[in-house]
Structure 1
């Protein structure tokens, strides 16, 4: 769409032009005229966006505007690169200094002349594009307020026509229907709102309609109203529609002149009528909080309502939670399981067979097609409807399975479904569209790290600055907005605070993203054994999947590349290994070579002046050259799981660096030992990197001066420092006290016998949420109980003599507690009323522990327990039978006699019988040997190779 492809680029471009206009001596007039013309064009983009769906000429105009904006950005970035390149020379002596000055003058003159020529060319392009806009009679935003509404109406009609779920045997609807019906007819007498939320195509409207038509609901309420909002509601028409429904239901004449009444009068009329009724009103497909606020006061909330209810359906969790009156229920609709998806598919596809069964010869292909639908009822029903008309041959089925992505845009029924799913994308603000399109670069079914995605958005310039917030915080809010709009699915959350760690995109939504990315020339994907047509386009973003070979035509199109990714690439092309490929990428901002078979840091990387994000994670890189200092714009340097153990002094020149990640994890699972991680040696002077937000894992044993310098890093949010000596503790505490923004802190002693002395920390960071201390403690640091925001604490090797639970008992927000060789006593006691929010408990290598007591009223929200290598623990924790929310227990590497007490007929079996998963893993000879208490074949062993 024009907004995502152009509006962001224009905003970004205009800001960049204005920032650099001082450097453009002699070109100020031309540049400013371009700025004015681009701003004018931007006013016409929404009208063009709406019309480009149906008018090819307008679509081409939008493309031309986008390309002009791209070209202008390229020109300015190349200009800045040339000037930076010329400023690198260091002068030594008068003669050399004079020669360099003359040389720079000549080069600057040539650069400005070249820039002037290019700007004149762009100015001519813009004038040409502007003339064509006038020919197409495009309207500005102020002149065309209804363009979005007309487009929304068009999509709404398609959606209504595509609600095919009414024609099928419904699957998976019984449980939610019963639950929502209960919310409607039972409970409080005051007005209540029930929201059904989920991505497009999940069957929200179908579910609510079945509830609405249920005889219990019909009989319980005196007035029944159903209104559909859609993406761009016309409030006046909706109010008229509601009024007519209510009066007609009660066989009363519709008030005279209702069609011409003002909105305020209509709302008053509705409110007066509803005051005396117990009513149920469905507001279907509501898109925004503003739309809800436009009608919420219509619904009276009085004692006489006797339990009136409002049901809404929405794709937005934020909207669902904002539609709150006296009380609120939110039902989040999930995708169907593979089993239910299969049933729905067979019901639709093989309706003519007596039992709706799939022919044996088509079963494997049908299962593959169903998996691609991702549990989305609308997709399953639509695809099933299309297949029901095809011949039941393996060849036809195989071709459909192979070409489903193409079929989505060629078959009329599937195209209608795609438009329904595309509504959520269309409704995004333009800055989120750019962020969302970025997901097109990731492979199908890829679990995407949240932090990786946000840092890429930052490097691309997709995140808009807001006063009082970091770019990372704003980026996280973007991600949650995409989640709340049901466009991104949460794949993994953090144990300690429940925040998103990894996300994924539904397969069909991904196809939409890929289509939009191709349409807007956002990015190109190169797959193994797959031809990619370039059509002389300039490739802006490039993602290699399995192969990194380019054909000559593609190589000619990469000089304007902004982002480069590799996924699952097992071999590198010769041009990659030699560095020749990168010597042409002067405008590159994102270079993500995670997991690539790269053995050395290529010198060509250091010539990428505009580079902001560099990830070499999980490569075989061993050393970083001092010339990395040339990457003056670098914000993220990710060297996790590489063999880099020391950083050069040149790293101190990267003053924009925000995330410095250098460590190697030596085990595949958390061991809590001193050799679990290998960190890096930092050069003295690291305190100059004052923009750092994240620093891990820095080795501290070089000099105390290094520890003192950390106090300058006042922007740090996360710090992991390793190999700390006892005498350095006082300096570290002094530095930490200056880090008021710190949220995550990990400190590891230099060896197992070394004392961590952190007692001098008098004023710990007030927002610290995660704390890990690996090393001996003479006592638990006095400041830990004051950490009111702490969500996770891990103590490893502390060897405390006193029970640490007494001090940790009152932490109000603690979710995760891990004690690894942290306590030498025989008993741990969770006191009544303590650890109210704890969900995850780990007890590891507590060699003296004989008994764990969980008093009544403690640990009410505990969901998971891991007890590992507590070899003399005599029995299951006392009181564990009262933990009703407990879902999983792992007893790792525990004695056989301990395990047998919990086996059938064992003395402790009844205490854990209510827990859904109780397992006994043992790490033996490089593999897990797992006994599962709830496995019906209880004597069977499961082997999981690691």
Structure 2
């Protein structure tokens, strides 16, 4: 597993050498040329070692099921990894030195902090000495590699072939599960059987997709052997594909199994045929048959390309089943075949409990063990392999609370050492091991977060970007590249989406609890991160690159000798991390990521600017009130997250951060009475904001602090993709419009007036062509003409507009609008009319505090895709809109603080006469305010025919 670390450092070295060789003037080149040659030598040496690392990692992790493995190989791999860490450190220290030298800084040399170097020696000599020592170390490591006879990746590839699981392989178990052992697959089985035996005669591919251990092979084999399925096909073939195969061997094995299944002789000379002849032989054999072939455990995205020509479409109702962990396999197959995708889900709690009891007790659970057993089953997260493995382990234990509690508490340790769980670890590890190196680093990040933590997508992807796991590519932003990495992990069934947005984007995600345990095991092996998640855990004395702190009381990181830390995450809410923060800037000079979100941090030390390499600083939801002036020295800072902090004014030094890309900064007052314009407090910024040329996201800026001059400077921020600006006065209108016209990449725009009666003229010459989100909280004399022309707009929120005429006619043809909010007298009329054919993609609609609105009418062919509809505090709307009955796709209907007449009319308990209107909707909620604060309300569901 050193391959990941070395690949990353090789990438860093390559970029460093190219960048630094062009950086200095000719007269300065002589003093750095020698060092750069040394870096090139190190790069060459490391590349030669890298060629064998995959084989070395495989041998180091191959424990043969017993947890042993080769200690010599493990030691060698560890030495390679630690050498790569040293290289990364010296690169970063050298960059700091060059930057200091270039800027003629008066600060003391940061190079004095390199561990183990003589601080009296001059800086150049220190760097040269460290580099020479690394070169010698790499040479010795390379020499020692010869004794292990590692094979390069090309040599290893030449030995690959199609191999079915052997005896002892954990993948063999699903092939021999008895009918009575299959639990929880009844619905999925019936669906797949119907797909195979029913439908038209066109050849179809059925893809069963899910994470490792979910039971894909068990289900597919179960369906394959179903008696109805057997009778429906002339011949069948079950092929294990796995990660390595040759298409020749696969086709040869397939035709042999077809022949065996139909009791026919195997064609002669298969091995001697060339590829074209072999494919023709398969096609000829299948031409007159209704066949079924199951390809189990497919990993290659374009697998369908390889089988397409051999598997003839003979209009006889033939079927192909594919099991895979990768959704890409199923999606790619649509190029070649009609595809039915069955995304296998974890077992529901009742079936998980049934399977566990069958395995652990071969019957009923003893009463005294039920509570503990249910906790253990919950940890399995509906994963059949985990339930079977852990149930099997517990079946060998004494049936006592003590024994079972010990297994539950020490599950991570049991995964490491217990032979009963070896197959579970191996199968969960396969998907991780198949990842390219940059995605392995991304995947390991899920182990940094505490157990059961729901991880915000933006937070996670921004951390990846700061660490350098995501690289800029022409034609797309870093955010887009990072989100593609996350999508890839989701498609590979490694990451689960916890919450999605109305536009289909991932909002938050998680990994399965047991997969997280496997990740943590790999993090430890890789020195990727040390977890301080319990009060009694001690700070590691060994090498690690990151600290994750969920229990801070007994840890003082500043005492550790490990100064090569790249990232620190604080999740603890029980004690202020001020002491920790105070020591960071002097101890950990190479930090790139600092995350204090939701901690009790209340101040930032003045020496924060010492963290030259810091790229990501997350202070959101902390008590921090002031940023030090030294923040202007963080010249590499890319993300500064100040959401829900008490920082209301930024120092002028922040304008020096020319690499700053993301600046979300605001405080929302959930504790008080809601007011649209005053609910969110932004930040004041100083003159000079135009120097932040890399800024892509800025929200919320208080416009009245800098006035028209500040807004004019926004014209220089040509990279802005998201802008939120508050307290805008009427006289700023022209300047704001001119600035927006310069923002060619703008995707999200949020504008709020300084007062609800302040009229803003936002008549842009042309619409921002990429705008996806528009939020206007201001009085408008008319709907701006450019809004109906926003063809990419997915979310529109209008508040305080006071339109006297129904705006829906102008908005109804927005081609991609998914969400529409009309709030706080956006419309001051009495009747809204949703016309036939209008808003054909709209999914969410919110009508809030429209004080004069008394009726809503919806034509039969309007709002055809609407799923969520909310009415909030519309005092004159006393009759439920009868046209709601036409909204057949509506999944949720909410009424908040609405007139009692309307609520009573749909209340089944009060024999409401209008209940029939909403009876087809799965979820109808009544929300009533019970206090003065934002979240002081209670919810009451209204029973309908779909939830009674």
> Which of 545, 548, 552 does residue 550 from structure 2 map onto?
545
Please say if 1:636 is aligned against 2:644: no
For residues 922-937 of structure 1, what are the structure 2 equivalents within 5 Å? 922-925=928-931, 926=933, 927-934=936-943
Distance 1:223 1:794 in 2: 59
Distance 2:160 2:77 in 1: 17
SS of match in other structure, 2:658:
coil
**Offset of residue 154 of structure 1:** 7.4
**Offset of residue 820 of structure 1:** 0.5
Partner of 2:3: 3
Distance 1:901 1:153 in 2: 64
* Contact 2:13-2:39 at 8 Å conserved across structures: no
Partner of 1:257: 269
**Offset of residue 38 of structure 1:** 1.1
Partner of 1:704: 708
TM-score, with structure 1 as normaliser: 0.93
**Offset of residue 573 of structure 1:** 5.6
**Offset of residue 533 of structure 1:** 6.9
Q: Deviations over 1:76-112 (max 9, x none)?
A: 2122224444666679xxxxxxxxxxxxxxx998110
For residues 398-547 of structure 1, what are the structure 2 equivalents within 5 Å? 398-495=405-502, 497-532=503-538, 534=540, 536-547=541-552
Please say if 1:911 is aligned against 2:922: no
> Which of 320, 327, 330 does residue 330 from structure 2 map onto?
320
Distance 2:774 2:673 in 1: 15
For residues 281-296 of structure 1, what are the structure 2 equivalents within 5 Å? 281-296=293-308
Please say if 1:786 is aligned against 2:794: no
Distance 1:161 1:670 in 2: 61
* Contact 1:725-1:756 at 8 Å conserved across structures: yes
Q: Deviations over 1:160-213 (max 9, x none)?
A: 236685475333212122222222222232211111111111111122222222
Partner of 2:111: none
Please say if 1:272 is aligned against 2:276: no
Stretch of structure 1 that moved more, 309-318 or 7-16: 7-16
For residues 869-908 of structure 1, what are the structure 2 equivalents within 5 Å? 869-904=873-908, 905-908=911-914
SS of match in other structure, 1:294:
helix
Q: Deviations over 1:709-735 (max 9, x none)?
A: 212212111111111112212221221
Flag the 1:311–1:162 CA change in 2: closer, same or farther, 3 A.
closer
Please say if 1:63 is aligned against 2:81: no
Distance 2:608 2:386 in 1: 44
> Which of 385, 391, 395 does residue 398 from structure 2 map onto?
391
Aligned residue pairs, count: 913
* Contact 1:672-1:774 at 8 Å conserved across structures: no
**Offset of residue 147 of structure 1:** 6.3
Partner of 2:589: 586
* Contact 2:162-2:246 at 8 Å conserved across structures: no
Distance 2:51 2:895 in 1: 64
RMSD after superposition: 2.4
Stretch of structure 1 that moved more, 740-749 or 25-34: 25-34
> Which of 698, 722, 725 does residue 718 from structure 1 map onto?
722
* Contact 1:164-1:381 at 8 Å conserved across structures: no
SS of match in other structure, 1:617:
coil
* Contact 1:164-1:378 at 8 Å conserved across structures: no
Partner of 1:944: none
Distance 2:266 2:423 in 1: 36
Partner of 1:125: 137
Distance 1:5 1:398 in 2: 37
Unaligned runs of 5+ in 2: 22-28, 63-69, 107-118
* Contact 1:379-1:417 at 8 Å conserved across structures: yes
* Contact 2:921-2:944 at 8 Å conserved across structures: no
Partner of 1:141: 153
SS of match in other structure, 1:667:
coil
For residues 169-180 of structure 1, what are the structure 2 equivalents within 5 Å? 169-180=181-192
Distance 2:92 2:668 in 1: 38
Partner of 1:812: 815
**Offset of residue 908 of structure 1:** 1.1
* Contact 2:161-2:249 at 8 Å conserved across structures: no
SS of match in other structure, 2:466:
helix
Distance 1:164 1:450 in 2: 40
Flag the 1:41–1:167 CA change in 2: closer, same or farther, 3 A.
farther
Partner of 1:102: none
Stretch of structure 1 that moved more, 109-118 or 582-591: 109-118
Distance 2:779 2:283 in 1: 69
Please say if 1:45 is aligned against 2:49: no
Q: Deviations over 1:505-543 (max 9, x none)?
A: 110110111011000101101123233473x42221011
**Offset of residue 669 of structure 1:** 11
Please say if 1:748 is aligned against 2:759: no
For residues 658-677 of structure 1, what are the structure 2 equivalents within 5 Å? 658-667=661-670, 673-677=676-680
**Offset of residue 574 of structure 1:** 6.7
**Offset of residue 598 of structure 1:** 1.7
Unaligned runs of 5+ in 1: 92-106, 940-946
Distance 1:350 1:163 in 2: 23
Please say if 1:307 is aligned against 2:317: yes
Distance 1:672 1:271 in 2: 71
Q: Deviations over 1:637-671 (max 9, x none)?
A: 01111111111111111000000111001127996
Distance 1:670 1:44 in 2: 64
Partner of 1:867: 871
Partner of 2:19: 19
For residues 80-229 of structure 1, what are the structure 2 equivalents within 5 Å? 80-85=95-100, 110-146=122-158, 157-161=169-173, 166=178, 169-229=181-241
Stretch of structure 1 that moved more, 159-168 or 682-691: 159-168
SS of match in other structure, 2:155:
coil
Q: Deviations over 1:469-519 (max 9, x none)?
A: 111110000000001001111011112x11001111110110111011000
Distance 2:355 2:529 in 1: 36
Partner of 1:336: 347
Flag the 1:672–1:865 CA change in 2: closer, same or farther, 3 A.
farther
TM-score, with structure 2 as normaliser: 0.93
Distance 2:126 2:865 in 1: 67
> Which of 333, 336, 350 does residue 361 from structure 2 map onto?
350
SS of match in other structure, 2:75:
helix
Flag the 1:873–1:551 CA change in 2: closer, same or farther, 3 A.
closer
Q: Deviations over 1:562-600 (max 9, x none)?
A: 0000002321367326x1343111111101111222222
* Contact 2:777-2:800 at 8 Å conserved across structures: yes
> Which of 367, 371, 387 does residue 364 from structure 1 map onto?
371
**Offset of residue 148 of structure 1:** 6.6
SS of match in other structure, 2:156:
coil
* Contact 2:165-2:172 at 8 Å conserved across structures: no
SS of match in other structure, 1:711:
helix
Q: Deviations over 1:50-69 (max 9, x none)?
A: 22224332222222111111
Q: Deviations over 1:233-274 (max 9, x none)?
A: 233222111111122233322111223333332222111221
